[in-house]
């Protein structure tokens, strides 16, 4: 089973927090990481990031761009990819959500550039 319940929280025009639930049922071993594939729809440019948790913060996104993403869990091999989810960053300078300075669940922060 793939990861599910994908969601994105827009932080500002260049930052988004991506969240998902781990796959249901049995895994083929202990999940060692999640791989996130992100595509900019305006350019077709693709990025791949990884996380050891079920969330990640992505920085340096383009303002007013639309992105599609999927995620897979990996043990010794990758499992099936989730269904896709889409988000659009706001115009430059707009802030939508303030992330807490401390969190029970720390989120890795990755820069795309």
- Sequence ranges of the domains in the chain: 4-94
Distance CA 63, CA 54 (A): 25
User: Span 4-94: which CATH code?
Assistant: 2.60.40.10
pLDDT tens track, the chain, 113 positions? 899 999 999 999 999 999 999 998 777 788 999 999 999 999 999 999 999 999 999 999 999 999 999 999 999 889 999 999 999 999 876 665 555 554 444 455 545 54
Q: What pairing do the DSSP bridges indicate for beta strands 33-40 and 46-51?
A: antiparallel
Q: What is the pTM of this model?
A: 0.81
């Amino acid at each position: 089973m793939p990861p599910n319940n994908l969601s994105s929280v827009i932080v500002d025009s260049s930052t988004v927090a991506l969240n998902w639930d781990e796959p249901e049922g049995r895994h083929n071993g202990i999940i060692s990481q999640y791989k996130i594939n992100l595509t900019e729809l305006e350019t077709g440019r693709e990025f791949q990031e990884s996380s050891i948790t079920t969330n990640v913060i992505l920085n340096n996104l383009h303002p007013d761009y639309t992105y599609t993403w999927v995620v897979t869990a990996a043990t010794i091999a990758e499992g099936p990819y989730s269904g896709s989810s889409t988000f659009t960053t706001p115009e430059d300078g707009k802030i939508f959500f303030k992330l807490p300075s401390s969190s029970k669940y720390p989120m890795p922060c990755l820069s795309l550039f």
